[in-house]
């Protein structure tokens, strides 16, 4: 018995790029005017402007992995260049500096990554966002 897998494609009225961009900026993927988050990483149940239900998202660990990928590459390169940029600086000072950069960058990128994932799921109709495109049949 073989399984057929369908590749998710956005429904005609949902632009993937637009929804992900709106999510990046913390806006409703449907209208772009309402807020996506009610707190740091808590997604609102419904958009206060257009009424679109947003509680069906399943972002799970994807935003954390995306954040880790971005921050680890940037900070790793920065650490390697630190000896060239500050050749006579204290190793403790360099470690504290890059630890602070890592923390701040992670806190700034994480909600944007989650917004992108929620926007993508909304545009593709995944999980609780209407159509069940992409499920195996």
pLDDT digits (tens, 9 = 90+) for 43-53: 999 999 999 99
129 located within any domain = no
d(CA 31, CA 80): 43
Burial 35-66 (b: 16+ CB within 10 A, else e): ebbeeeeebbeebeeeebebebbebeebbeeb
131 located within any domain = no
5 located within any domain = no
* pLDDT value at 32 more than 70: yes
91 located within any domain = yes
Report which of 133, 132, 118 is spatially closest to residue 52, judged by C-alpha positions.
118
pTM above 0.85, yes or no: no
Average pLDDT of the residues in 112-128: 91
Mean pLDDT of the chain: 88
134 located within any domain = no
List helix spans (H) across 12-86: 16-24, 62-85
46 located within any domain = yes
| Full residue range of the structural domain in which residue 23 is found | 16-124
Average pLDDT of the residues in 68-89: 94
78 located within any domain = yes
CB atoms under 10 Å from CB of 116, counted, come to 22
Q: Contact, 133 vs 9, CB < 8 A?
A: yes
Distance of CA 96 to the CA centre of its chain: 27
Q: Contact, 50 vs 13, CB < 8 A?
A: no
Longest dimension (CA), the chain: 66
30 located within any domain = yes
d(CA 104, CA 117): 21
Number of compact structural domains in the chain: 1
């Amino acid at each position: 018995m073989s399984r057929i897998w369908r590749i998710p494609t956005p429904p005609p009225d949902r632009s993937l790029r637009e929804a992900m961009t709106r999510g990046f900026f913390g806006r409703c993927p449907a209208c772009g005017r309402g807020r996506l988050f009610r707190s740091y990483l808590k997604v609102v149940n419904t958009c206060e402007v257009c009424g679109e239900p947003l509680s069906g998202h399943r972002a799970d660990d994807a935003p954390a992995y995306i954040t880790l990928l971005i921050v680890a590459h940037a900070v790793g390169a920065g650490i390697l260049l630190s000896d060239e940029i500050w050749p006579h600086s204290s190793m403790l000072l360099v470690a504290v500096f890059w630890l602070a950069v890592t923390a701040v960058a992670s806190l700034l990128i994480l909600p944007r990554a989650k917004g992108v994932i929620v926007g993508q799921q909304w545009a593709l109709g995944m999980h609780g966002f209407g159509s069940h495109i992409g499920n195996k049949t």
